[in-house]
Amino acid sequence: MCFVRPPAPLPAGEEAGCALRPDGVCGVAVGYPLDTVKVRIQTEPKYTGIWHCIRDTYRQERVRGFYRGLSLPVCTVSLVSSVSFGTYRHCLAHICRFRYGSADAKAAKTDITLSGFASGLVRVFLTSPTEVAKVRLQTQTQTQTTQQRRPSASGPSAVPPPCPAPPARSAPGPKYRGPLHCLATVAREEGLRGLYKGSSALLLRDGHSFATYFLSYAILCEWLTPAGRSQPDVLGVLVAGGCAGVLAWAVATPMDVIKSRLQADGQGQRRYRGLLHCVVTSVREEGPQVLFKGLSLNCCRAFPVNMAVFVAYEVVLRLTRGLLT
């Protein structure tokens, strides 16, 4: 999940659609390696810290291990961003029209919070299957090792076995060969419910976090707007977006941990019966601090991801405006 520039104000029509595509892809590409490390820390207790996870992943899987499952988020980020921004903008317009008689009226903080919450809820129905595939691929380690059986030879007098030894077999490869294969496998083995596993935690994560993001962004933009101007400059937008992303991830991290554990739970023997059982079991076994695993990574990732998103957004938006005018 990456938090990007909210549509306040967003360009209308084709400009907004064209501008949202490259910056979302750029944000995903920049933050994905850290996201992989974050998911593995949240779901695998064997890792004692961030650097331990990074070293272990690189030693076993090299750079490729940090980008497992990247293709699916890259392909869907444009659709998800468009739906999220569209939901936020239309909800805010309807609320302002209902309360103040005009969609262009200045929205109150409550209006922004409700619209952001609705935006987070709507995106869950699109992102849940891709999140399941992403988490399964990120937590799937490469274990293609070959085990060969060697005949015992204690000396010339060793009696040969009566039957020839069976041919050596290599250990089974990864269960999922890619995002589409992962989605098909999950649907076949676990049904439609498997594709929406952890969606309850995802609802709680995205609803509250997007409400926090849009509200904090609006407040910070208001503070950073110079006197006599209606909007902050580019630096103000970057600072506001980065800080809002950090605040949103601080709210989202507890449910992000639970979501990752529930979605990764289908690869082997299932441990969790549901959201509450996952929360209780995780806290009982690892303490309350388990709910904040990956918080530092989430906050550190929020700033560079949002900066990449905003820079790409501004560049593409100006180019698009130049082509359309």
Task: Indicate the DSSP class of residue 65.
Answer: G
Q: Where does the pLDDT of residue 77 fall: very low under 50, low under 70, confident under 90, or very high at 90 and above?
A: confident
CA distance 276 to 281: 8
Could you read off the pLDDT of 240-266 as tens digits, one per residue? 888 888 999 999 999 999 999 999 987
Instruction: Judge whether residue 325 has pLDDT over 80.
Output: no
Could you read off the pLDDT of 81-136 as tens digits, one per residue? 878 878 988 999 999 999 999 888 889 999 999 999 999 999 999 899 999 999 99
Instruction: Judge whether residue 163 has pLDDT over 70.
Output: no
40/10: higher pLDDT: 40
The stretches of 196-293 forming alpha helices (DSSP H) are 199-224, 234-263, 275-286
In the chain, the amino acid numbered 284 is: R
Q: Is residue 224 within 8 Å of 236, Cβ to Cβ?
A: yes
Side-chain half-sphere exposure of 152, counting CA atoms within 13 A: 5
Give the 3-state secondary structure of residue 73.
helix
Could you read off the pLDDT of 201-252 as tens digits, one per residue? 999 999 999 999 889 988 998 998 888 887 788 788 788 888 888 999 999 9
* Architecture of the domain defined by 14-142+176-324: Alpha/alpha barrel (1.50)
For range 263-283, the mean pLDDT: 88
For range 165-171, the mean pLDDT: 55
Please give the structure tokens belonging to residue 70.
Answer: 């990247």
For range 56-62, the mean pLDDT: 93
Could you read off the pLDDT of 304-320 as tens digits, one per residue? 776 666 566 556 656 77
Q: Where does the pLDDT of residue 271 fall: very low under 50, low under 70, confident under 90, or very high at 90 and above?
A: confident
